[in-house]
Amino acid sequence: MTNPNPGGASLLAKHLTPAVWEALKDKETRYGVRLIDVVASGLAHPESSIGVYAGDEESYELFAPLLDPIIAKYHGFGPDGRHTSDLDPAHLDAPNPDPEGRYVVSTRIRVARNLCCFPLGPALTRRERRIVEATVVRALASLEGDLSGRYYPLYEMDHATKERLIANHFLFKEGDRFLEAAGLNRDWPDARGIFHNENKTFLVWVNEEDQLRIISMQPGADLEEVFARLARALGELERRLTFARSERLGYLTSCPTNLGTAMRASVHVRLPRLPEEKIKAIAGDHGLQVRGTHGEHSDAEGDVYDVSNKRRLGITEVEAVRQLSAGVRALLAEAS
């Protein structure tokens, strides 16, 4: 097969040169992940911004000639970089940027995690996915206090409940075309589900883009409270589960944009007086990205934007939330 570069503006199109294709096309990881699997989503969707998904930890080593330049471009993190983590809430100095609640509707901080010693989602077998689900659900069932909750398997959930949870920003959407092409939606909805505590401030998505998406969220702009809850939950889960992690790349995720902290700290902020271009410019100056009201690939509704840290690797969790805090302050200074 000759180099099937999809064209377009994705990082895949930029970095899948004929030489890279030739060097990697016959390689295969121990879990059977090939170059054609890594690039499948980007080839199917030339409109992708990134275009690649890793099938396992070894993909990041074996396909490094393709993935490293993509990682470098997205995170500003070179091949000699070493990721470090800081989840200590005592190190976070990010007072509520909107104490009167005039602009910030809600705050959400999520991290992605995958279990050590399994392939990542694109290469999981149905049986492995079920083992992952059972392992995660067992760990979640033993959480106590405000972190205790219930697991809701997707196949048991009626349509109306699903729609309501999605509309209220608690549950992942179904049928993402990029995930579909990467093989991440195989056997849907088998072994997928959501765990949450009673007031839905602590939630865990199971077997979507990553095996776990661990989420702390609440109305308002109390970044410190949201971060502290997440850090506490992660501490509890780390005592029960072993997550896939590398010295260099931090926590391992299926999409290279999520490596490192695997953290996306965001606010939903209502900015009726600022043009979208201005919002994007201010956010960009602070290392932040802007999404729509219903997440990635959605539009802003009612002037509510999702503003979050873009970089997740080569930055600590504390730094990522501080970056969000500084950017939100700058936006609110312009908005008032």
The two most distant CA atoms of the chain are separated, in Å, by 60
Residue 291 is among the residues annotated as catalytic for this protein:
yes
Nearest CA among 213, 239, 244, 234 for reference residue 114: 244
Q: Which of the residues 257, 311, 312, 316 is marked catalytic?
A: 257
Residue 156 is among the residues annotated as catalytic for this protein:
no
Angle 126-141/223-240 helices, nearest 10 degrees?
A: 110
Q: Does 210 bind ligand ADP (CB under 6 A)?
A: no
Q: Which of the residues 108, 192, 291, 322 is marked catalytic?
A: 291
Q: Does 169 bind ligand ADP (CB under 6 A)?
A: yes
Q: Which one of ligand ADP, ligand ILO, none interacts with residue 65, CB within 5 to 8 A by kind?
A: none
Q: Which one of ligand ADP, ligand ILO, none interacts with residue 121, CB within 5 to 8 A by kind?
A: none
Distance CA 39, CA 256 (A): 12
Q: Does 295 bind ligand ADP (CB under 6 A)?
A: yes
- Helix, strand, or coil (residue 152): strand
List Cβ neighbours of 274 (8 Å cut-off, separation of 6 or more).
331, 334, 335
Residue 213 is among the residues annotated as catalytic for this protein:
yes
Distance CA 67, CA 209 (A): 18
Q: Which of the residues 47, 156, 296, 334 is marked catalytic?
A: 296
Residue 255 is among the residues annotated as catalytic for this protein:
yes
Binder of ligand ILO out of 114, 201, 258, 309 (CB under 6 A): 258
Q: Which of the residues 108, 113, 264, 311 is marked catalytic?
A: 264
Q: Does 41 bind ligand ILO (CB under 6 A)?
A: yes
Binder of ligand ADP out of 40, 43, 120, 217 (CB under 6 A): 217
Q: Does 110 bind ligand ADP (CB under 6 A)?
A: yes
Quick one: 325 exposed, middle or buried, by C-beta within 10 A (0-12, 13-18, 19+)?
Answer: buried
3-state secondary structure 239-307: HHCCECEECCCEECCCCHHHCECCEEEEEEEECCCCCHHHHHHHHHHCCEEEEECCECCCCCECCEEEE
Q: Which one of ligand ILO, ligand ADP, none interacts with residue 169, CB within 5 to 8 A by kind?
A: ligand ADP
Binding site for ligand ILO (CB under 6 A): 10, 41, 48-51, 178, 209, 255, 257-258, 296
Binding site for ligand ADP (CB under 6 A): 106-108, 110, 169, 213, 217, 264, 266-268, 291, 294-296, 306
